[in-house]
């Protein structure tokens, strides 16, 4: 059995060799490798090595360790380190850039502009210093880019596609991450002093182009790259000093095919939703924080007919639709002094002027819900999410202040569903977090719901029954197609989704292209894919 050190060493020897080759004249050989540093961490804490992968080769790697006593896992970021001389030069370069950077003459991408300038500055220092054995310029460049343009100390974590959330609960406490495979994990990154943490929160606010201060200590904003940031400043509203939490944005959104792949939804349910979206059925997605509501909303809205006019209304722009005829509206907090606020309520009202087929509201919480329901009552279709765990709880919330939806409006919702994070034991016997759409109802009347699908936790299977579906009745009325024909339509769409899944066609653009082609010429798509409808 190779020891942990051996395992880690082999893992990174190759990378290390490349690095050393590139920086032949450096003293790097004297320094520790990632593997050695990780092994030291492991020995110090007597923890068990579980997993590791590169975050940004050859600079940063992630390790997952387990404390054998408690079974707790920890996420360790290992980055190359600067030696004293490199640190000194790094400080000089960053200072130089900060003082000397001049505003560009014409309109340019500010990031690219700073990047170019930083590279030029590094080259100038390099020329000035001449031969510099023991110095790695590429390492210095990594740090300059990381700190000036990137997310500084947390930059490696931002690069990890497995991380969904990053949060800091105050000074002296580890940064926590939510890992797709290992759930909530503390990391080895800690802001040790209040100044360091406050400075970082200010940096985040600046990056988002927003303001945070003692006078305005709460911030809700979008970071470059679309990450959603919520932060508090100093001890104004949070007892342990500044805090923040970041919901990372996925460059590559989760599609309906991914959801089938993850087992969040079955191909049959997905096909049912595809048909429901085709006929603009009003849909409500429920779940707790981080359950996957917005993701599901986005994946379903991607199934809408491309000719529909869609208006989306959100507090932070999270939705991404492959539609031409899409208007994305985003609310705006008040300016300092409390003026100029544009709420979801205002936006839902204004959206009606756009004559939308479908109004998508990221999440309903307040009086905007009432306007949305009024819009639905006058013939628009609606899609939204709500923080609730069951249809009863959702209806209770909808009909109470501040939403105040009259019970007679509740049947305007055609389909309601709950998405949950649940734990599954994987092949190795480890519990693994997964998401499942656990319940789907059709709303017949106030407090009268038809169960169309239920997830069986023991067998991890979805039990779907469309025999009592009133959504199919509605579609039948609109189209004049019989129930049998609609069952066949669901079966065809299911076969297409299964084909896409089997052929690993999952990206949002690719999936959209098949969906759109099916809308234009279903027969041609079925023939081209050669899918058999069972």
Ligand X SMILES: Nc1ncnc2c1ncn2[C@@H]1O[C@H](COP(=O)(O)OP(=O)(O)OP(=O)(O)O)[C@@H](O)[C@H]1O
Q: What residues line the site for ligand X (CB under 6 A)?
A: 164, 247, 250, 254, 259, 262, 264, 287, 289-295, 435
Nearer CB in complex with Mg ion: 54/317: 317
State the nearest-atom distance from the C-beta of 240 to Mg ion, in Å: 26
Matching residue, tokens 């998508």: 360
295 binds Mg ion (CB under 5 A): no
State the nearest-atom distance from the C-beta of 442 to Mg ion, in Å: 23
Per the CB < 8 A criterion, the answer to whether 74 and 187 are in contact is: yes
By a kind-dependent CB cut-off of 5 to 8 A, residue 295 interacts, out of Mg ion, ligand X, none, with: ligand X
294 binds Mg ion (CB under 5 A): yes
State the nearest-atom distance from the C-beta of 291 to ligand X, in Å: 4
The DSSP bridge pattern shows strands 310-314 and 358-361 to be parallel
- Give the x/- contact pattern for Mg ion in 238-277, rule: CB under 5 A: ----------------------------------------
Number of chain residues interacting with Mg ion (CB under 5 A): 2
State the nearest-atom distance from the C-beta of 227 to ligand X, in Å: 10
State the nearest-atom distance from the C-beta of 289 to ligand X, in Å: 4
By a kind-dependent CB cut-off of 5 to 8 A, residue 250 interacts, out of ligand X, Mg ion, none, with: ligand X
Per the CB < 8 A criterion, the answer to whether 173 and 187 are in contact is: no
CA–CA distance, 407 with 384 (Å, rounded to integer): 18
State the nearest-atom distance from the C-beta of 253 to ligand X, in Å: 8
Q: What are 473's two structure tokens?
A: 């009745």
By a kind-dependent CB cut-off of 5 to 8 A, residue 150 interacts, out of ligand X, Mg ion, none, with: none
Q: Which residue is closest to Mg ion by CB?
A: 294
For residues 296-325, which are near Mg ion according to CB under 5 A? none
CA–CA distance, 514 with 257 (Å, rounded to integer): 12
By a kind-dependent CB cut-off of 5 to 8 A, residue 262 interacts, out of Mg ion, ligand X, none, with: ligand X
The DSSP bridge pattern shows strands 218-222 and 60-66 to be unpaired
H helices present in 172-313, as ranges: 194-207, 256-262, 267-278, 293-301
Q: Which residue is closest to ligand X by CB?
A: 292
State the nearest-atom distance from the C-beta of 397 to Mg ion, in Å: 16
* Residues near 96 by beta carbon (within 8 Å), at least 6 away in sequence: 121, 125
Matching residue, tokens 């400080």: 91
By a kind-dependent CB cut-off of 5 to 8 A, residue 397 interacts, out of Mg ion, ligand X, none, with: none
Residue of 326, 295, 297 lying closest to 415 (CA atoms) = 297
Nearer CB in complex with ligand X: 26/296: 296
Nearer CB in complex with Mg ion: 420/492: 420
Nearer CB in complex with Mg ion: 52/294: 294
CA–CA distance, 229 with 167 (Å, rounded to integer): 10
Strand order in the sheet with 310-314: 326-330, 310-314, 358-361, 381-387, 283-287, 415-425, 431-445, 448-456, 461-464
Per the CB < 8 A criterion, the answer to whether 395 and 412 are in contact is: no
Q: Which stretch binds Mg ion (CB under 5 A): 118-126, 183-191, 285-293, 353-361?
A: 285-293
Nearer CB in complex with ligand X: 291/490: 291
384 binds Mg ion (CB under 5 A): no
Q: 328 pairs with which residues across the strands?
A: 312
State the nearest-atom distance from the C-beta of 331 to ligand X, in Å: 14
* Cα–Cα distances in angstroms (integers) from residue 477 to residues 451, 470, 473, 474, in the given order: 21, 10, 6, 5
Matching residue, tokens 């640190």: 87
The DSSP bridge pattern shows strands 461-464 and 358-361 to be unpaired
Nearer CB in complex with Mg ion: 147/165: 165
CA–CA distance, 414 with 379 (Å, rounded to integer): 13
By a kind-dependent CB cut-off of 5 to 8 A, residue 290 interacts, out of ligand X, Mg ion, none, with: ligand X
State the nearest-atom distance from the C-beta of 292 to ligand X, in Å: 3
CA–CA distance, 234 with 198 (Å, rounded to integer): 7
Nearer CB in complex with ligand X: 150/287: 287
- Listed in order, strand segments (DSSP E) in 331-414 are 358-361, 381-387
Nearer CB in complex with Mg ion: 136/385: 385
Matching residue, tokens 């539609």: 323
State the nearest-atom distance from the C-beta of 363 to Mg ion, in Å: 6
State the nearest-atom distance from the C-beta of 389 to Mg ion, in Å: 15
Per the CB < 8 A criterion, the answer to whether 515 and 302 are in contact is: yes
Nearer CB in complex with Mg ion: 73/329: 329
Nearer CB in complex with ligand X: 144/398: 398
Nearer CB in complex with ligand X: 28/268: 268
By a kind-dependent CB cut-off of 5 to 8 A, residue 291 interacts, out of Mg ion, ligand X, none, with: ligand X
Calculate the CA 491 to chain-centre distance: 31
Residues that bind Mg ion (CB under 5 A): 293-294
């Amino acid at each position: 059995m190779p020891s942990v050190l051996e395992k880690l060493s082999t893992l990174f020897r190759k990378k290390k060799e490349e690095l050393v080759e590139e920086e032949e004249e450096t003293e790097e050989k004297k320094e520790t490798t990632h593997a050695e540093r990780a092994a030291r961490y492991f020995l110090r804490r007597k923890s068990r090595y579980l997993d590791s992968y590169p975050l940004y080769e050859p600079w940063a790697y992630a390790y997952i360790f387990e404390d054998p006593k408690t079974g707790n896992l920890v996420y360790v970021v290992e980055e190359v380190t600067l030696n004293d001389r490199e640190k000194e030069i790094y400080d000089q370069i960053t200072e130089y850039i900060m003082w000397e950077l001049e505003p560009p003459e014409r309109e340019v991408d500010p990031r690219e502009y700073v990047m170019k300038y930083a590279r030029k500055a590094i080259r100038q220092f390099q020329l000035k210093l001449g031969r510099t054995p023991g110095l790695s310029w590429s390492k210095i460049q990594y740090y300059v880019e990381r700190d000036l343009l990137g997310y500084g100390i947390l930059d490696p974590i931002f690069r990890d596609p497995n991380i969904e959330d990053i949060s800091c609960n105050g000074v002296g406490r580890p940064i926590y991450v939510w890992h797709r495979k290992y759930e909530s994990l503390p990391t080895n990154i800690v802001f040790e002093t209040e100044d360091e943490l406050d400075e970082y929160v200010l940096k985040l606010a600046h990056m988002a182009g927003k303001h945070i201060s003692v006078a305005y200590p709460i911030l809700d904003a979008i970071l470059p790259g679309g990450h959603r940031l919520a932060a508090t400043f100093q001890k104004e509203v949070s007892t342990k000093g500044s805090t923040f939490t970041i919901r990372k944005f996925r460059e590559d959104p989760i599609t309906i095919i991914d959801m089938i792949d993850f087992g969040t939804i079955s191909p049959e349910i997905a096909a049912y939703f595809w048909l429901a979206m085709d006929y603009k059925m009003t849909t409500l997605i429920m779940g707790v924080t981080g359950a996957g509501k917005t993701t599901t909303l986005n994946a379903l809205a991607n199934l809408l007919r491309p000719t529909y006019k869609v208006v989306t209304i959100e507090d932070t722009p999270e939705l991404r639709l492959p539609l031409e005829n899409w208007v994305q509206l985003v609310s705006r907090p008040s300016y300092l002094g409390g003026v100029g606020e544009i709420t979801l309520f205002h936006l839902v009202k204004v959206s009606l002027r756009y004559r939308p087929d479908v109004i998508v509201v990221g999440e309903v919480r307040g009086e905007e819900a009432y306007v949305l329901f009024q819009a639905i009552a006058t013939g628009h279709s609606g899609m939204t999410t709500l923080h609730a765990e069951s249809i009863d709880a959702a209806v209770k919330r909808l009909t109470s202040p501040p939403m105040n939806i009259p019970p007679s409006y509740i049947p305007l919702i055609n389909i309601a569903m709950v998405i949950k994070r649940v734990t599954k034991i994987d092949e190795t016997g480890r519990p693994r977090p997964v998401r499942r759409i656990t319940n789907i109802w059709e709303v017949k009347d106030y407090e009268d719901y038809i169960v169309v699908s239920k997830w069986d936790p023991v067998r991890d299977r979805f039990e779907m029954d469309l025999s009592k579906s009133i959504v199919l009745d509605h579609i039948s009325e609109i189209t004049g197609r019989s129930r049998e024909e609609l069952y066949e339509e669901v079966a065809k769409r299911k076969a297409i989704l299964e084909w896409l899944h089997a052929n690993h066609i999952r990206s949002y653009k690719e999936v959209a292209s098949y969906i759109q082609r099916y809308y234009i010429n279903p027969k041609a798509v079925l023939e081209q894919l050669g899918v058999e409808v069972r």
